[in-house]
Amino acid sequence: MSGAVGSNCGLQAWAKARTRANAGSGSGLRSVLLAAIGAFGLTMAASANVELSLHQVSAPDEVGDTVEVQLIARSDTGSNETMAAASVIITWDVATLDLLGNHTSGAVNLLTSSFPADPFGLNTDLHDGDAIYVAFAPLGNPVVIPPEGALITTYVFEALAVTPGTLVDIPATFGGAVTEVFDGEIAGLVITGALFGGQVEIVDSCPPDLDHNGDVGFGDLIILLASWGPCAPGDCPADLDGNNDVGFGDLIILLDAWGACPG
């Protein structure tokens, strides 16, 4: 039938895989919901689209801090749209961020909002740089998505390393999974619009603390002295004055900061 999509597409493939795996069990709820949304209907391109974007809540964050990144959904039609469900792939750099989970504080009302077990294996390890988030609206009560945007969830990471900008992205596809938003009124209608990742900035509140133990002391002094001399731009933590050379200027900065780091 024209317009139909094969059984391996996005949430519909998920529905069928999960239904087979969890038939008769309580964990099959997601599969039942997904099947009701669209596994037996047409999946069509929509003129009404819902854009997804990511935004760092409080920039910059510091190394060791909890970093919050909001998932925002917006109607691109100039009027409200509705959403029954969504699967959203996210990817990130494991050298700078570690995914801790998500929370729904301040978000729209959802039946479920989590990183569930998935047939694609993206959520087998939530620390490997890729995951798929799944949201379902309450049955019979789809989420309203206005043009000004609605908060769907907030992803929570730990900041691991200093960076002027590391990308948390929303790929359209990854590892067999698909980022999809389903319409709240027409079963199976995919209304996914543009996808926008977000940059996360992480800073170091105490640069002279080269060993990151919360205190500027002899350990940091040893690291600085071992780095003495010219160094590559952007890859020289001991270059505290930013002149691409570790020398007396950096030593003075370290000695001036001697003791416990602020905060």
Burial 23-55 (b: 16+ CB within 10 A, else e): eeeeebebbebbbbbbbeeebbebebbbbbbbb
What's the DSSP call for residue 210? T
Residue of higher predicted confidence among 261 and 195: 195
Domains annotated on the chain, with CATH? 10-203 (2.60.40.680), 215-260 (no CATH)
Q: How many other CB atoms are there within 10 angstroms of residue 96's CB atom?
A: 21
Does the pLDDT at position 11 exceed 80?
no
d(CA 239, CA 227): 8
pLDDT category at 12 given cuts 50, 70, 90 is low
Using one digit for the tens of pLDDT, what is the confidence trace for 202-220? 988 899 999 888 899 999 9
Q: Is the pLDDT of residue 163 over 80?
A: yes
Mean pLDDT, range 180-189, rounded to an integer: 94
SS3 18: helix
DSSP state of 190: B
The model's pTM is 0.75
Question: Does residue 224 or residue 29 have the better pLDDT?
Answer: 224
Kindly indicate the confidence band of residue 61, based on its pLDDT and cuts at 50, 70 and 90: confident
Taking a C-beta distance cutoff of 8 angstroms, is the pair 137, 83 a contact?
yes
